[in-house]
Each structure stands twice: as C-alpha cells, then as structure tokens.
Amino acid sequence: LIYSLACVGAGSAILRVIQTKNADISAVTFFSTSFILGEGILASFWLGLALLGYFNKVEIIGVLFICLILLFLFSRNQIVAFLRQIKTLFTEILNETLIWKIIAFLTLLLNLAWGTSLGRTILGDGSAIYFALPKIIAASHHLISLPGYESVSYLGLQGEMHYAALMALGSPEAAQLFSWPTIFAGSVMLLALGRKVGLNRRGQWMTLAMVFTSSCVILLSGDGKTDLFAAAFGLSAYYWAIRTWEIKINKQDALLTGLFTGFTAVAKLSYIPVMIPGIAFLVCWGYIEKIVEKRSRRISIEELV
C-alpha cells in the first residue's frame, strides 16, 4: 500500500509539472493516471540506480519517502475529492435495482479475489525470468544479466524493477501482488475512456466485470509475469489520446499520450507495431478535426461579415 501511494506521489508530481489543469477529470481518474505514470517514472529511476550499482534498501526507502511527501503536497485536494467520489459511487450502487446491486457486488468480489493469488506458485516464465531477474537485482544491488536469458535481461523491465524494489524491501509477496493495483488502475482508465465515448455507469460495471473475468487477467493474477503493466500503460495512452479531441488543443494531453505510449512500448515490444499506429491515428484525427472546424468557423464568420 505504501509503495502504491509512493507511485501516486511520483505521478502527481509529474502531472503538476506538465498538466496544470486537472479540474476536468475525476479524482479517481486523476489518481489512476498518477499511479500508472508514477510506475513508469519510478521503474526508470530504479533502473538508473541499478545501472549505477546503488540499488540499495536505504536509497529505495529514501525515494519512496520523498514520493509520499510529494503526494500530500500536490494532491491534498484530490484526496478529499477521491473519497467523496467513492462515497458517491457506493450511494449510486445502493440506489440501483437488485440485479445491478448483485452485478456490482460480484464485480467487486472478483476484484478482491485477486488477493488469493498470493498463495499461487510461480511457474513457467514467471519463475524462469520475470521473478528470477528482479531477485538477482535485489540481491546484487545492480543490474546484471540472468544466465541463459542474456538477450532479454535488459529489455523494458518496467514491471521487473518494481518487483526488484519490493524484494529489496524484504517483501516478495508484495511483488507478487503488485500487478493487482496495476491492472485495477488500468481498468479505471478503461472505464474513463468508456465514459468519454458515452458509456453510462451500468456499462462501466459490465466493462469492469469483463476485465476481471477475462482469461488473460485470471491467468496472469499473481503469475509473476509483467504483461499487465504494459496493458495499464496502453489503456492510459488511449484515454489521453482521446482527450486530445477536446475543443481546445491541449499540448499537455498530447505529452501524456506520448509518455504512456513510450512506457507501453518499453514494457512490451510486441505492442509497438499494433499500438503506435493506432495512437498516432487517434491523435492526428483529433487535430485534423480541430483544424477543419476552425477553418469552417472562420469561413462562416467571413460570410456573415
């Protein structure tokens, strides 16, 4: 929990720098964006420490402490808004019909059931590289290649560096569970994207249920693999790409789209040929639409004059 809050703090600090106006997004979306962005920033920072040979417990705790301070400095108002939004959400559930109360309850239960993956034995790719490499990094305090996997020991490591940090803090169990808040935050971004294109609250509950009943999420729960990190980055990239379609051209939204797209590409190279053209199309389509609207408005004004 402390580590997750530190990720939110790191992300909220970056948002404060590049995204000055957050009033038009909900507090839950803000925190999910901050968390996922903070994951990318911290993983990159941990990688730098590992390359320098300073990946030690003291340095990790120091960075996390600074991130927690940043969280309360930059997000105090958002924390209050977040609690209010959660309260409103549960009030909406209580006012729903019985069938939708059941759907909401079962969806939340499916989400909480992820905690049972803590007792899962890590096998396959998880035991071969995704958990083995972080264990070596945590023990040696610097980045070294995993014997037998030298060619892939330096690729991405967006999820692996978080695993290594949590292992260095003495909690491999937390490392095994860390993909849980990651996919939940990614799901929130998916729901926010759905709201952006017209999905109502019931549709959002159905979407969340679809995520946590998907074979991909179930098979990867506590598995030790890092695919869900790339998925969370990708969903965030699509959300902020759609936001570039707003009436006014917002460079901050485009910058966040680029950051999340870059983190996605680093976390999962196979996403590059499919995702980057799609993100580029969405962003370019939005800008072209704005240019056409501006020209049409200018022509209409000239004709009126």
Amino acid letter, 205: W
In angstroms, the Cα distances linking 11 to 67, 132, 231, 269 are 9, 27, 18, 23
The tens-digit pLDDT sequence of the chain (305 residues) is 999 999 999 999 998 888 655 557 888 999 999 999 999 999 999 999 999 989 999 999 999 999 999 998 888 888 888 889 999 998 999 999 999 999 999 999 988 888 888 778 888 888 888 888 899 999 999 888 888 777 777 777 899 999 999 999 998 888 889 999 999 999 999 999 999 888 899 999 999 999 999 988 888 888 888 899 999 999 999 999 988 777 565 778 888 999 999 999 988 888 889 898 999 888 888 777 766 666 666 655 555 55
Q: What angle do CA 242, 229, 88 make, to 5 degrees?
A: 60
Distance of alpha carbon 182 from alpha carbon 24, whole angstroms:
23
CA 218 to each of CA 120, 227, 271: distance values in angstroms, whole numbers, following the listed order: 12, 12, 21
Q: What is the C-alpha separation between 159 and 162, in angstroms, rounded?
A: 5
> Which residue type sits at 162?
H
Residue type present at position 288: I
What is the pLDDT, as a whole number, of residue 157? 87
Q: Which residues contact 66 (CB under 8 A, 6 or more apart)?
A: 9
Contact 136, 154 (CB under 8 A): no
pLDDT for residue 228: 92
Contact between 12 and 35 (Cβ < 8 Å):
no
CA distance 245 to 288: 10
- pTM of this prediction exceeds 0.75: yes
pLDDT at 152 (0 to 100): 72
Phi and psi angles of residue 38, each rounded to the nearest 5 degrees, phi first: -65, -35
Q: How far apart are CA 258 and CA 42, in angstroms?
A: 17
pLDDT of residue 26: 87
Map residue 143 onto helix, strand or coil: coil
